[in-house]
Amino acid sequence: MNVMDRTFEPDLTVDLGSVRLSNPVMTASGTCGYAFELGDFVDLNRLGGFITKSITLEERAGNIPPRTVETTGGLLNSIGLANVGLERFIQEKVPLLEKMTIPVFVNVAGKTIEEYEEVCRRLSEIAVIRGLELNVSCPNVKEGGISFGINASATGRLVGAVRKACPETLLIVKLTPNVTDITAPARAAVEAGADVLSLVNTFTGMAIDIETGKAVLGNGTGGLSGPAIKPLALYQVQRAYQEVASPEGIPIIGVGGIVCAEDAIEFIIAGAAAAAVGTAGMINPSCLVKIVEGIRQYLKRQEIKTIKELVGTLE
Ligand SMILES: Cc1cc2nc3c(=O)[nH]c(=O)nc-3n(C[C@H](O)[C@H](O)[C@H](O)COP(=O)(O)O)c2cc1C
C-alpha cells in the first residue's frame, strides 16, 4: 500500500461467531446498565456491541451497602447481581434494546443450572438479542455454593446444559479469573459448546477500614476491576488464546482494566478479537468511542488493513 494514501480506511469489523460487529469495542456487563443509561454521555450506537448487566430469573435487590469502594488503580464492587429479573427485563428493557442499532448481547446469571437454562431459553426467543453471555462466576447453590466458573467440570456442565436448551443461540462464556489455570475452564467451556469466550470477570478482593477494623464493603469481599487488573487480565487472555481459543478457532472478548485504545490493542495482540470496557466507562463514558477512534488511528498509522490481522500477533 502507498504510505501517502490518506484515504486508506482500515477494516474494523469483527466476527463473533455468526454475529458481525462494526468495530471491536463493547460495553462490559454490569457497568452500562440495561440499555441507554449512558446514552446522554456517549453515542452507544458507535460501539461494536452492547452487553447488558447480568439478568437472573427472579428480581434481586443485591448485596447490602456499601457496594463499591475505590482502591489504588481499581474499584471493588459487591453489587450482588441486583437486577429487575427476567419478566421485568423482557417487559421494560427489551423494548429499549430494540432501539439499538448495534448487536445486543444479554448477560445471564443464576444459582442453578436449571435457572440458567430457563432464562437463556426465554431470551433466545427474542429477536433483538443476538447472543447470550453466561456469567459463570455465580455461586452454584446445589453444589455447595462454590462458583461454577472456578471448577472446570461445573463450567462444562453448565455450558453444556445451556447449549442444549438453546442450540441456535450465540453463546459467550464469561470466565472468572479466580482460578489457578484459566485454560481448564476455558477448554471445558469450548468443549461444551461455547461459541465465544469472554475474559475476565473481576478478581476477588477486599478493603478494610482501619478505624473500625471492619471490611469496607457490606458484603465483606467484592470483585476488583479497573486498571489495577489489566496486566493480570491480559496474561489470562494470552494463555486462553494460545492454549484453547486459537487452536479451536474461538474468538475471545478481552476485558479487564481497559481505559484507552492502547490497552485494547494490547488485548488484541494477546489474542482478543474484541475488547469490552467496564470501569473506565463508569468514570468517563465517552472513552468508549475514543477507544474505537484510537484503534482506527493505530491501524492507519501501522498500515494494517484489517483488525483481524492483528489478533494474536504477540511475538
Ligand atoms: C460495578 C460493576 C458491576 C459489574 N456487574 C457485572 C455483571 O452483572 N455481570 C458480569 O458478568 N460482570 C459484571 N462486572 C464485571 C465487568 O463486566 C468486567 O468483567 C470487570 O469489571 C473487568 O473489566 P473492567 O476492569 O474494564 O471493569 C461488573 C463490574 C463492575 C465494576
Q: Domain segments of the chain: what residues?
A: 14-310
| Catalytic position from the list 138, 166, 260, 287 | 138
Q: How many helical (H) and strand (E) elements, i.e. helices and strands, does the chain have?
A: 10, 16
In DSSP notation, 76-120 reads EE-----B-HHHHIIIIIHHHHTT-SS-EEEEE--SSHHHHHHHH
pLDDT value at residue 264: 99
Residue 145 in this model has a pLDDT that exceeds 90: no
* CB of residue 237 inside a 6 A radius of ligand 1: no
CATH architecture of 14-310: Alpha-Beta Barrel (3.20)
What is the rounded CA–CA span in Å between residue 157 and residue 189? 9
Confidence tier at 10 by pLDDT (50, 70, 90): very high
pLDDT value at residue 138: 84
Average pLDDT of the chain is: 96
Residue 25 in this model has a pLDDT that exceeds 90: yes
Cell numbers at 222, concatenated:
467484592
Confidence tier at 157 by pLDDT (50, 70, 90): very high
Instruction: Determine the distance separating the centroid of ligand 1 and the alpha carbon of 2, expressed in angstroms.
Output: 42
* Cα distances (Å, whole numbers) of residue 172 to 11, 73, 189, 195, 222: 23, 28, 9, 6, 23
pTM as predicted? 0.97
Average pLDDT over residues 221-231: 97
pLDDT value at residue 3: 52
* Closest residue by Cα to residue 205 from 101, 69, 306: 69
What are the beta bridge partners of residue 4? none
* Closest residue by Cα to residue 104 from 54, 55, 50, 174: 50
Listed in sequence order, the DSSP H helices in 199-286 are 230-240, 246-248, 261-270, 279-283
Confidence tier at 223 by pLDDT (50, 70, 90): very high
Residue with CA closest to ligand 1 atom 22: 256
* CB of residue 28 inside a 6 A radius of ligand 1: yes
Q: Do the beta carbons of residue 141 and residue 115 sit within 8 Å?
A: no
Average pLDDT over residues 183-207: 98
Q: Find the farthest-apart pair of alpha carbons in the chain and give their distance in angstroms, rounded.
A: 65
What is the rounded CA–CA span in Å between residue 153 and residue 173? 14
Residue 1 in this model has a pLDDT that exceeds 70: no
Contacts for 216 with CB less than 8 Å, ≥ 6 apart: 66, 69, 76, 206, 207, 208, 209
Residue 5 in this model has a pLDDT that exceeds 80: no
User: Does a cis peptide bond (omega within 30 degrees of 0) precede residue 24?
Assistant: no
Confidence tier at 225 by pLDDT (50, 70, 90): very high
Mutate to test the pocket of ligand 1, among 32, 217, 225 (most ligand atoms within 8 A of CB): 225
Q: Annotated catalytic, 138? A: yes
* Closest residue by Cα to residue 200 from 131, 276, 299, 119: 276
Average pLDDT over residues 121-127: 98
Cell numbers at 206, concatenated:
477486599
